[in-house]
Amino acid sequence: MERNFTDQELVRREKMNKIREMGMDPFGQAFERDSYAKDIKEKYADIPHDEFESRNDIVTVAGRIMFIRKMGKASFFTIQDKTDKLQIYISINDVGEETYNLFKSADLGDIVGIKGKVMKTNTGEITVKCLEYTHLVKALKPLPEKFHGLSDIEERYRRRYVDLIMNEDSRRVAFMRPRIIRCIQNFLDKQGFVEVETPILTTLLTGASARPFITHHNTQDLDMYLRIALELNLKRLLVGGMERVYEIGRTFRNEGMDMQHNPEFTMMEVYQAYSNLEGMMALTENMYKTIANEVCGKTTFKYLGHDINLDGEWKRVSMTDAIKEQTGIDFKAITDLDECLRLAKEHGIELEEHEKQYGHIVNKFFEKYVEETLIEPTFLYGHPIEISPLTKKDPDDSRFTQRFELFISGKECANAYTELNDPVDQLERFEDQLKEKNMGNEEANDIDMDFIEALEYGMPPAGGIGYGIDRMCMLFTEQDSIRDVLLFPTMKPRD
């Protein structure tokens, strides 16, 4: 493949060859360091300038050159490691002419190792006085002068490696996300939950309402789906007696992409035997507050244009009451389907053939009039049975289920159920889903007879909940786009 190099890239390749001629590997070997930039700056921040004269604190650091101010026989430059930037002072008197000349051939982006003495400049900046300079890696492409802002947004996501070099906020988010996930794991582990792994490839479309990605298993000559949810296998583990289980894993839905959606995303599902909706609400509220305090050190976050306060008791409202608040229509009191169809038509709500049912109409009204108004953390409960095929019925009104969704800033962040453990009822729900599929609903579930058989062995009463980990990370890192919390979001190929 023929490539055209810029003048600067050609110069860097010439420098690479000169390094080889000097008997060194332009792309380096292992290098032992004992310190990181942030730790050095914090450790020595409060030591007065004059005191460094009598100290001889030696550190070994490594990082990428981000700034160079080359002078005659002495220069300053800045390296960046995973923790922070650190200023280096290098002098021909300390390292010798040959090494100093090697440094003078360095470019922005090169990776180097430094052994030196910690000092503080007259302006108070912690600096390492270089005593040994080691070339590690020659960067053959120059760093961009600017790599953030709207004009570069697509390239930031495509070339995340450059974004992480240049953009401090991207590094903050990249390191914060795993801390959030580790906090979740610790929180659940302490409450007796066990983390498990279940298959990504499946032969049935179950656990959620979504269009799948389809792949093919060559050996078995079998079409398979990439999972759209984690649910049914985790419930099988409840049947098996594991009682408290959770999984954090990649899930795949063959749907649109926008600020809130990526075709592959990270979901967590949690199941607790002998619990219910109340248990899932308490678990969720406590977990969010724990992450806020332990990872972020605060409980108020700027998210999707709103200041979100996680303190206090979170609001709880039924779907029908929330619709009534916004429209005056009390769907709880309406039992006639024709009346529902008339109201939908009056309010300009279009319905597919499979949506001409009570529950779908109620949900359409919610999506149009209510969803975006749920700003502060809100548990919305009482979903119609038609849109909740895996959920226990409300014992007081069989049109509804024991389910809630957590909404923050008008967006769904979690979905919870008092789990359906009646195999007879579950089979009827699956059969209803199959009817919807035959009517054109591409998101309807398949019938999983093995799961029915598992329920027939007896699944304990249980609460279950699914969380969008990416949206959770968006809230806690205060990012408005899912792409900013994914290291490698799905992108169209370059033209």
Answer whether residue 151 shows pLDDT above 90.
no
Every domain of the chain and the residues it spans: 7-137, 164-314+376-484
Answer whether residue 470 shows pLDDT above 50.
yes
Q: Could you tell me which residues come within 8 angstroms of residue 197 by beta carbon, excluding any fewer than 6 positions away?
A: 247, 249
Answer whether residue 150 shows pLDDT above 60.
no
Contact 258, 218 (CB under 8 A): no
445/110 Cα distance (integer angstroms): 53
- Model pLDDT, residue 60: 98
- Model pLDDT, residue 81: 98
**Range with the lowest mean pLDDT among 88-97, 159-168, 284-293?**
159-168
- Model pLDDT, residue 291: 98
Confidence band (pLDDT; 50, 70, 90) for 32?
very high
Answer whether residue 256 shows pLDDT above 50.
yes
* Tokens coding 448: 């999983």
- Model pLDDT, residue 152: 65
* Tokens coding 465: 């909940």
Q: Could you tell me which residues come within 8 angstroms of residue 49 by beta carbon, excluding any fewer than 6 positions away?
A: 120, 121, 122, 124
443/1 Cα distance (integer angstroms): 43
* Closest among 61, 80, 72, 65 to 129, alpha carbons compared: 61
3-state secondary structure the chain: CCCCCCHHHHHHHHHHHHHHHCCCCCCCCCCCCCCCHHHHHHHHCCCCHHHHHHCCCEEEEEEEEEEEECCCCEEEEEEECCCCEEEEEEEHHHHCHHHHHHHHCCCCCCEEEEEEEEEECCCCCEEEEEEEEEEEECCCCCCCCCCCCHHHHHHHHHCHHHHHHHCHHHHHHHHHHHHHHHHHHHHHHHCCCEECCCCCEECCCCCCCCCCEEEEECCCCEEEEECCCCHHHHHHHHHCCCCEEEEEEEEECCCCCCCCCCCEEEEEEEEEECCCHHHHHHHHHHHHHHHHHHHHCCCEEEECCEEEECCCCCEEEEHHHHHHHHHCCCHHHCCCHHHHHHHHHHCCCCCCHHHCCHHHHHHHHHHHHCHHHCCCCEEEECCEHHHCCCECEECCEEEEECEEEEEECCEEEEEEEEECCCHHHHHHHHHHHHHHHHCCCCCCCCCCHHHHHHHHCCCCCEEEEEEEHHHHHHHHHCCCCHHHCCCCCCCCCCC
Answer whether residue 493 shows pLDDT above 90.
no
Q: What is the mean pLDDT of residues 56-85?
A: 96
- The structure's pTM equals 0.91
- Model pLDDT, residue 209: 79
Answer whether residue 147 shows pLDDT above 60.
no
Q: What percent of the chain has pLDDT over 90?
A: 85
The CA-CA-CA angle for residues 320, 434, 371, to 5°, reads: 25
* Tokens coding 155: 């390239």
CATH class of 164-314+376-484: alpha beta
**Range with the lowest mean pLDDT among 126-130, 274-278, 382-386, 491-495?**
491-495
Q: What is the mean pLDDT of residues 244-261?
A: 94
- Model pLDDT, residue 149: 47
- Model pLDDT, residue 148: 54
Tens digits of per-residue pLDDT, 272-314? Answer: 999 999 999 999 999 999 999 999 999 999 999 999 999 999 9
The CA-CA-CA angle for residues 231, 432, 260, to 5°, reads: 45
One of 3.30.1360.120, 3.40.50.720, 2.40.50.140, 2.40.40.20 is the CATH number of 7-137, namely 2.40.50.140
Q: What is the mean pLDDT of residues 162-183?
A: 96
Mean model confidence pLDDT for the chain: 94
Tens digits of per-residue pLDDT, 428-451? Answer: 988 887 888 788 777 677 789 999
- Model pLDDT, residue 54: 92
Answer whether residue 357 shows pLDDT above 90.
yes
Q: What is the mean pLDDT of residues 223-241?
A: 96
Answer whether residue 50 shows pLDDT above 80.
yes
Tens digits of per-residue pLDDT, 107-127? Answer: 999 999 999 999 999 999 999
Amino acid at 3: R
438/417 Cα distance (integer angstroms): 26
- β partners of residue 217: 222
75/104 Cα distance (integer angstroms): 9
Contact 270, 469 (CB under 8 A): no
* Tokens coding 157: 């996501």
